[in-house]
Amino acid sequence: MFLMAIFIFSNCISTKEEIKQYARGLECNFIVTMKSEDNRNYFFSGYDKNRKHIEFQVGQFYDIYDFTESGDTILKKLGETNFTLIKKDTTLVFPLIIGGKTIEITCEDVKTSIVNYYYCFKVSKKQRQIKEDQYIILKGISKYGEKIYFSEPEFWDVYNSVEIGDSVVKEIGKTEIKLIKKDTVLVFPMYCDGVFK
């Protein structure tokens, strides 16, 4: 079965709020097989989890093209403005860019996004990554044998408490993270702009 889903910002959408509102209405989740570029319009082909063919187009509002390779997954959740690019060994997040400026992401935006995520894995490695912001990276294995790469800018104050062999659990619908050790369970609430969420 062939499914075409073309997402593009219309010329009639002009204001920043209209662009943000339009971006929040977009949704996709597919594996990339091909990409092409034409006058700052980016085109991606691929297939979703049901093996339906996807055609995806986006303009200069997202700087995702150069980072995308065949086999990557492009994810855009309804209600969010960010695109997520999932690679074999890392996950990249691309914010909405209007007029050359990145649109500020609020704590409420982060919270809305975080509640939709699920993690459950045993930690095999941890490290800090210093760039523009400070990120922590936890690598591990799920109970199904999948390799997990968990990277986040310390919304949870969990790094110093994590040891190799601990399990990290984040349930859908909740913002806190549970750290399961051999003899205890620690709960870490989401922390953003100096406030627990």
Domain termination site, one of 48, 78, 105: 105
- Distance (Å, whole) CA 41 – CA 81: 18
pLDDT of res. 106? 66
Structure confidence by residue, pLDDT tens digits, 97-133: 665 555 555 677 667 767 777 889 999 998 876 544 4
Domain termination site, one of 76, 105, 134: 105
Domain termination site, one of 80, 105, 130: 105
Q: Are 63 and 102 in contact (CB under 8 A)?
A: no
Do both 119 and 64 map to the same domain? no
pTM above 0.95, yes or no: no
In a domain, 8, yes or no: no
Instruction: Give the mean model confidence (pLDDT) for residues 6-25.
Output: 58
pLDDT of res. 4? 41
Q: Is the pLDDT of residue 76 over 60?
A: yes
- 92: pLDDT confidence band, cut at 50, 70 and 90? confident
Q: Is the pLDDT of residue 45 over 70?
A: yes
The number of distinct structural domains making up the chain is 2
- 7: pLDDT confidence band, cut at 50, 70 and 90? very low
- Domain of 97 in residue numbering reads as 16-105
Q: Are 94 and 63 in contact (CB under 8 A)?
A: yes
In a domain, 37, yes or no: yes
Burial class (CB in 10 A: 0-12, 13-18, 19+), 170: buried
